[in-house]
A = this chain, B = another copy of it.
């Protein structure tokens, strides 16, 4: 990322410039007159602003519309490719990364398998490879990166430290934001993976348009993310969604019903056992079907707690097990109908394994928008 030019920056921060950028981001190419109308600025002031934004590399001229009579008016567009964003999903078994332009359009994706008991250094190296892989795929360099947004397993704090993860023993007491800033000289954002997945479903997935959503992030681990009044609910100390920690809600050990099912063939790797059980239940194996029933019994208790407390419009079954929604969704619905005051819609995720990495990109785009409209949020990058 290029250094900031102080004089330009102070002018860039004028609300006028920011309003112009937002108008262009939302509407696509606009003429000076159209921009002036949308921002309330005079045409000469608008011209000054666009000149300034062009000098900073945020805005460029595009060819005039076809077939315009008389002298064609100049049009301007936001350069979504004036910088890039990376989203990262740090899971127990996989590191995923995606690279997008500033509008969140995904241009490259990578995945790196990693063992849950891998040493810390190995996991960090896999993260670095996943990100540099995205840069190579999209022929960009680390200098073009504006923001890396990370969704991680484990409990985080508001400063982007990982406190602890039940699934990955080495993933604790870690200044993750600091480590990533050492690797990549750009802005780093850290968020809980289930919250980012919930955001992605509410923006691009099955919950699009719903204002209140309970997202079940279920697979080998159990997690939850909440959308309340259209926004991700983080909590006062970034610790929301942790119903798994309440023994009475019966989430923590729920996957054991699937992992320890007698239908799982001997010698199956532990991480594949649950998948075997779900597949066997789909194929009519009564022992596997019983294990799935017991799993859904437990899943429904923690889910009912969230539904009774929040009364959401929709519950989304997401995470790795959402691939088995055909086996899980109806039994879950039946139990919630008995337990809840008002029955929400219950739907399967449409983003599947991509949900966290896509949510991380959406989070980075939102953060950029926030910066554009909150001048004291720190310096804005200058495009190269």
* Chain A residues within CB distance 8 Å of chain B: 155, 211-212, 224, 226, 228-229, 231, 233-243, 245-246, 248-250, 301, 304-306, 308-313, 339-342, 344
Q: Return 28 A-B CB contacts under 8 Å, by A number.
A: A155-B341, A211-B236, A224-B309, A228-B229, A228-B233, A229-B233, A234-B311, A235-B311, A235-B312, A235-B342, A236-B313, A236-B344, A237-B311, A239-B311, A240-B310, A241-B309, A242-B308, A243-B308, A243-B309, A245-B308, A245-B339, A245-B340, A246-B304, A246-B308, A248-B248, A248-B250, A249-B305, A309-B310
Q: How far is the CB of A309 from chain B (nearest CB, A)?
A: 5
Are A310 and B233 in contact (CB-based, < 8 A)?
Answer: yes
9 closest cross-chain pairs (CB), A and B: A235-B311, A237-B342, A236-B313, A239-B311, A240-B311, A239-B342, A239-B341, A242-B308, A248-B248
Residue in contact with A309 in the complex, picked from B212, B237, B240, CB distance below 8 Å: B240
Are A311 and B341 in contact (CB-based, < 8 A)?
Answer: no
Are B248 and A311 in contact (CB-based, < 8 A)?
Answer: no
Q: How far is the CB of A315 from chain B (nearest CB, A)?
A: 11
Known: A229-B233, A239-B341. 13 other contacts (CB 8 A): A226-B310, A234-B311, A236-B311, A236-B313, A237-B311, A237-B342, A239-B342, A240-B310, A241-B311, A246-B301, A248-B305, A309-B309, A309-B310
Which of the listed residues A236, A245, A301, A340 has the most CB atoms from chain B within 10 Å of its own CB? A236
Are B309 and A341 in contact (CB-based, < 8 A)?
Answer: no
Are B226 and A309 in contact (CB-based, < 8 A)?
Answer: yes
A243 to B341, CA, bound (A): 10
A246 to B340, CA, bound (A): 8
Q: Which residue from chain B places its CB closest to the CB of A304 in the assembled complex?
A: B246
Q: Which residues of B are found within 8 Å of A306, using beta-carbon distances?
A: 309
A250 to B239, CA, bound (A): 23
Q: Which residue from chain B places its CB closest to the CB of A339 in the assembled complex?
A: B246
Q: Which residue from chain B places its CB closest to the CB of A301 in the assembled complex?
A: B248
